[in-house]
Structure 1
Amino acid sequence: MNIRKVLPHELGEAAALSDFVFRQPDQQSMGRLFPYLFDPGISQSYGAFTEEGKIVAFMGLVPEVIRVGSARLCVFGLGSVCTHPDYRGQNLASKLLEECMEHAKRSGASLVFVSGDRSLYMRSGCQYFGHVHSAALNHSAARSLQAGIADGWTVRNMEPEDIFAVTELFASAQVGYEQGPAQLLALLGASPIPDIYRLNPQALVAIKGGRVQAFALAAVHSADIQSTTASEEPSRAVEWAGDIQGCALLFAEIYNRFPSKHMILPIPWQQEELLRLLQASGAEVTDGRNSGTVWIADASSLLNQCSSLLPDSWGSIFRTNVSLDQERSYTITKGDRELQLDDSGLLSLLFDPKSPHKPMAPEDFKTIPLPYLSGLHFV
């Protein structure tokens, strides 16, 4: 079996394999849902090929840049992992994962975000990470939001001519993926999350003072849905940007236009204002982790790319250790106290506001926020 990069002319065959493994007849092709994996171009992904050149296993990689204030994190998204049933049991996925991890290191990436938590990933060092609240918006909460916010706002469907305004809303956010209008249009057109849940995408904008000030995308049921069983399934917020009150109003409007038992909104911990609005409206809120898992491709790259977010004293108390067998560990020294961390501990300290290791961080250290990973950029 030949393990190598997938060539541009082979991406269509890779999409067909992914469709065979993951898709049902009523669902769209993976090739359409994930254009940055399967459209022609310089592929970052890997496959397992027979001697005859047939692809029988695939692992998709998409390079991204996540903006956190002044920092830029070079990361990969990893997903669409599949093996043809006739070729399972040959350890192909493990071999592909090894190649993808080496690719990430060579590329200078700091992190690889994985859209799953299979034992395959956890055995290879992937970790749960971050902190995300989950708010359940119901009819009463939606009414409360509309009553408290609606003055001065106009809500309508997003139009193609809104693309520059919406792109600017995303670009103005403190935390998010770097993207231009063409990439945003492609992702909005693909919208994989609604299709995964067999729902429909719905994008709205909120206008105040004569300009677009908020955007929201959700996965919703059809307006004319008659099935009681289907309507019991929640609708889901996918992505939003701009004025927080405007975003909350948009989700309330979407919920009322496309009713379901409730709408799930995954709120990253740093979006405190949106969380307060939803709690005040009566939405039920629970706590959890960010979506999927993450692997540290290179700890030095991670700390360098985060350097503008770390206190000046970080370098004097933090040390990276690499053993003879290449196992990584980290030491934090604070006064006469010393703390040893593994990758899981470092990820907790950097990205989890509830990390038990925070007392050992410098006094002026602030938890680094990340976007929710199962939005428009889900792989």
Structure 2
Amino acid sequence: MDIRKVLPHELQEAADLSDYVFRQPDQQTMGKIFPCLFSPGISHSYAAFTAEGKMVSFMGMVPEIIRIGEARLYTFSLGSVCTHPDYRGRNLASRLLEECKQHAKRSGASLVFISGSRSLYTRSECRHFGRVESAAINQAAAAAIRSQAGGGWTVRNMVPEDTFAVSSLLSAAHVGYEQGPSQLLALLGAGAIPDIYRLDLQALVGIKDGKIQAFAVGAVHGEDRSTAASSEPSRAVEWAGDVQGCALLLAEMLGRFPAEQLIIPVPWQETELLGILKVSGADLTAGTNSGTVWLASVPALLSQCAPLLPGQTFRSNEESDHACYMTTTEGQEIKLDDAGLLSLLFDPESPDKPLLPEKFATIPLPYLSNLHFV
């Protein structure tokens, strides 16, 4: 079996294999909902091929830069992992995962975010990470949010002429993906999360004082589906801009496209939005971020996070790419493995956080099942 990088002309075959494994009759082709994986161009993905050249297993990789204040994390998103049923049980996915890991390291990436959490990943040092509160709002909570927002807001569907204004809101966020208007439009057109849940994508903007100040995308029970294919609750996918305005737009999603609930996965750092949702009566459930993460390189991660790290709290182990040292509040230096470093950097409830100096601030990450999900 030949394990290698997918060539541009083989991307359609990869999309066809993904469709064969995953796609249901009422869903769009994977080639459409994941344009960053399957559209023509240079590929970072890997596949297994038979001696005759037939693709029988695939693992998709998309390079992304995550912006956190002044820091830029070079990452990969990994998804659409599939093997033809006739070729399962041959360890192909594990071999592909190892190739993808090595590709990430050669590329200078610090982290690989994986869309799954099954044993294929967890036994290969991929770990749960971060902290997210999933808020479930019903119609009563949505009404309370609308009441809190007060007057002065106009809510309408996003139109093409809003592209630059919406892109500016996303770019101004402290935490988010580096992207331009063209990528934003491509991801909105693809609607991966809505299609996965058999829901429809809706994008709303909130206008106040004559300009767009809030933006939100939801996966909702709309009119585009010919049948009630999904019993899933509606879901918030992405938002940016004025926090009160974003909360209003999410409440409007539930009002305009009725469902019993709207699920809003809120990263821990968005305290103002969490406060609004709590006051509204939303039910909150604590959990980790979406999927799992693999730490590709400790030195790369510490270097890319340097603007967010105080002094010499962490330093790389020159003898290992997967270990580092941390200086505690008492000036002692202790050795950390990957799990310990990921916990201390990204989990505000890390059990070892008391060991860190008071000036250290947990590093926020976006929720990963958003417009960029693969």
Provide the TM-score with structure 2 as the length reference: 0.96
Correspondence list, 1:318-357, <5 A = 318-320=315-317, 322=319, 328-334=322-328, 335=330, 337-357=332-352
3-state SS in 1 of match to 2:217: strand
Spell out, residue by residue over 1:198-244, the C-alpha distance to the aligned partner (whole angstroms, 9 max, x if none): 100011000001111100000011259998995x6310000001110
More moved, 357-366 vs 330-339 = 330-339
Correspondence list, 1:211-360, <5 A = 211-222=211-222, 233-315=232-314, 318-320=315-317, 322=319, 328-334=322-328, 335=330, 337-360=332-355
- Could you tell me whether the CA contact under 8 Å between 2:313 and 2:326 is conserved in 1? no
The 1:148–1:226 alpha-carbon spacing in structure 2 relative to 1, beyond 3 Å, is farther
- Could you tell me whether the CA contact under 8 Å between 1:127 and 1:295 is conserved in 2? yes
1:159 aligns with 2:156: no
Which ranges in structure 1 are unaligned for 5 or more consecutive residues?
none
Q: Partners in 1 of 2:201 and 2:111 — Cα distance? A: 29
Q: Partners in 2 of 1:333 and 1:45 — Cα distance? A: 38
1:146 aligns with 2:140: no
The aligned amino acid for 1:364 is: K
- CA displacement at 1:46 relative to structure 2: 0.4
Q: Partners in 2 of 1:336 and 1:181 — Cα distance? A: 47
Equivalence for 1:114: 114
Spell out, residue by residue over 1:55-78, the C-alpha distance to the aligned partner (whole angstroms, 9 max, x if none): 000000000000000000000000
3-state SS in 1 of match to 2:323: strand
- Could you tell me whether the CA contact under 8 Å between 1:9 and 1:40 is conserved in 2? yes
Q: Partners in 1 of 2:226 and 2:312 — Cα distance? A: 60
3-state SS in 2 of match to 1:82: strand
- Could you tell me whether the CA contact under 8 Å between 2:302 and 2:316 is conserved in 1? no
- CA displacement at 1:329 relative to structure 2: 3.1
Equivalence for 1:125: 125
Report the count of equivalent residues: 373
Q: Partners in 2 of 1:266 and 1:250 — Cα distance? A: 15
1:102 aligns with 2:125: no
Spell out, residue by residue over 1:157-181, the C-alpha distance to the aligned partner (whole angstroms, 9 max, x if none): 0001100000000000000000000
Equivalence for 1:90: 90
The aligned amino acid for 2:222 is: S
- Could you tell me whether the CA contact under 8 Å between 1:235 and 1:263 is conserved in 2? yes
CA-based RMSD of the aligned residues comes to: 1.8
The aligned amino acid for 1:283 is: A
Equivalence for 1:180: 180
Q: Partners in 2 of 1:56 and 1:207 — Cα distance? A: 49
- CA displacement at 1:333 relative to structure 2: 3.7
- Could you tell me whether the CA contact under 8 Å between 1:220 and 1:258 is conserved in 2? yes
Q: Partners in 2 of 1:75 and 1:284 — Cα distance? A: 32
- Could you tell me whether the CA contact under 8 Å between 2:115 and 2:373 is conserved in 1? yes
3-state SS in 2 of match to 1:204: strand
- Could you tell me whether the CA contact under 8 Å between 1:333 and 1:339 is conserved in 2? yes
Equivalence for 1:373: 368
- Could you tell me whether the CA contact under 8 Å between 1:233 and 1:260 is conserved in 2? no
The aligned amino acid for 1:122 is: T
The aligned amino acid for 2:168 is: E
The aligned amino acid for 2:232 is: E
The 1:28–1:225 alpha-carbon spacing in structure 2 relative to 1, beyond 3 Å, is closer
The aligned amino acid for 2:358 is: E
